[in-house]
């Protein structure tokens, strides 16, 4: 699943490919991908150009001339830039016809992805972003604030990392890696974490996400090469999807368990529950 590093990779790759191109026309082949009214979406987006490329958490933000196009890839959303002569496959749901003659195709096996178009505004108060907090790299986000907001809440560490309301961008893969890197068991109740733990969590979160961006993201079944870009961070994963293999630190066998209803990988020797 594309998380912050994969979304960042997709965004930067697209920027080199489609910046300042015009959207001539749009075909929507599966209505539920579009959040607002289809007819409106198609009418408004025609004739606009891709001007700026931004990201907030796992959301892609495309600044057009007069609108903001916001996309969430969810589980398996991908963009392909292809020549129109290449046959469309059955998982292609939205097609933007670009002024350089190529098609920008939104491809999504699960059809979970979403895109919406809103009039451009400076305050970023778009409905689709209403429930997400600071991006993990936002300088305004501090361990102190995270601590204040979280340390009295119910739930465990992994649930906190996956919650996008305060800290946005982490998904299942990086949540596991962050927990491991901090030496904390993912099911540790948040109330058991102290102020120093929050410092470490935020530092490790940023370190791991930065490393993953540098590697071009993680390529697993649900996130494979989009736009010809294949991430390599899967080679650096320490616990995620490594059940049965040995912990790179202590050699203990990594186990898979459920935490907060999510498949979770953990080294129970390095990650003691607190």
Partner DNA sequence: ATACTCCCCTGAGAGC
Partner DNA sequence: TGCTCTCAGGGGAGTA
Q: Which residues bind DNA (CB under 7 A)?
A: 1, 32, 57-58, 72, 74-75, 90-91, 109-112, 128, 131-132, 153-155, 162, 164, 171-172, 221, 258, 262-263
Per the CB < 8 A criterion, the answer to whether 13 and 217 are in contact is: no
Identity of the residue, 140 or 221, whose beta carbon is nearer to DNA in the bound complex: 221
Q: Of the listed 3, 76, 103, 177, which one is catalytic?
A: 3
Shortest distance in whole angstroms from residue 153 CB to DNA: 5
Shortest distance in whole angstroms from residue 253 CB to DNA: 18
User: Residue 186 catalytic?
Assistant: no
**Mapping DSSP to helix (H, G, I), strand (E, B) and coil, where does residue 63 land?**
strand
Shortest distance in whole angstroms from residue 149 CB to DNA: 8
Strand partners, 226: 229
User: Residue 3 catalytic?
Assistant: yes
28 backbone dihedrals φ, ψ, rounded to 5°: -110, 115
Per the CB < 8 A criterion, the answer to whether 231 and 217 are in contact is: yes
Identity of the residue, 109 or 143, whose beta carbon is nearer to DNA in the bound complex: 109
Identity of the residue, 150 or 198, whose beta carbon is nearer to DNA in the bound complex: 150
User: Residue 5 catalytic?
Assistant: no
Q: Among residues 84, 99, 93, 100, which one has the least CA distance to residue 32?
A: 93
Q: Among residues 194, 143, 191, which one has the least CA distance to residue 167?
A: 143
Residue 213 C-beta-side C-alpha neighbours within 13 Å: 19
Identity of the residue, 114 or 185, whose beta carbon is nearer to DNA in the bound complex: 114
User: Residue 140 catalytic?
Assistant: no
How far does the chain reach from its first CA to its final CA, in angstroms? 29
Shortest distance in whole angstroms from residue 15 CB to DNA: 21
Shortest distance in whole angstroms from residue 8 CB to DNA: 14
Identity of the residue, 165 or 269, whose beta carbon is nearer to DNA in the bound complex: 165
Q: Of the listed 58, 105, 158, 242, which one is catalytic?
A: 58
Per the CB < 8 A criterion, the answer to whether 1 and 172 are in contact is: yes
Q: Where are the alpha helices (DSSP H) in 151-256?
A: 157-162, 172-182, 195-214
Length, in residues, of the chain: 274
As a whole number of angstroms, the distance between CA 231 and CA 173 comes to: 14
Catalytic residues: 2-3, 58, 262
């Amino acid at each position: 699943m594309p998380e912050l590093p994969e979304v960042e990779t997709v965004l930067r790759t697209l920027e080199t490919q489609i910046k300042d191109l015009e959207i001539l026309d749009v075909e929507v082949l599966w209505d539920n991908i579009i959040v607002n009214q289809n007819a409106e979406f198609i009418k408004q987006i025609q004739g606009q150009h891709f001007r700026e490329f931004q990201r907030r958490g796992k959301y892609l933000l495309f600044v057009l001339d007069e609108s903001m196009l916001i996309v969430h890839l969810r589980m398996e959303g991908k963009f392909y830039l292809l020549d129109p002569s290449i046959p469309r496959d059955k998982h292609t749901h939205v097609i933007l016809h670009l002024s350089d003659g190529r098609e920008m195709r939104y491809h999504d096996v699960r059809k979970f992805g979403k895109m919406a178009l809103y009039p451009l505004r400076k305050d970023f108060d778009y409905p689709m972003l209403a429930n997400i907090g600071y991006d993990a790299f936002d300088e305004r986000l501090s361990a102190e604030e995270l601590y204040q907001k979280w340390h009295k809440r119910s739930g465990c560490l992994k649930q906190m990392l996956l919650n996008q309301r305060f800290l946005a961008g982490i998904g299942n893969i990086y949540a596991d890696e962050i927990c491991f890197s901090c030496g904390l068991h993912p099911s540790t109740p948040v109330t058991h974490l102290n102020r120093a733990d929050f410092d470490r969590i935020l530092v490790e979160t940023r370190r791991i996400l930065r490393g993953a961006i540098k590697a071009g993201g993680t390529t697993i079944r649900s996130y494979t090469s989009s736009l010809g870009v294949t991430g390599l961070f899967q080679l650096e994963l320490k616990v995620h999807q490594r059940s049965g293999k040995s912990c790179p630190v202590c050699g203990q066998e990594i186990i898979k368990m459920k935490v907060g209803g999510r498949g979770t990988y953990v080294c129970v020797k390095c990650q003691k529950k607190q």
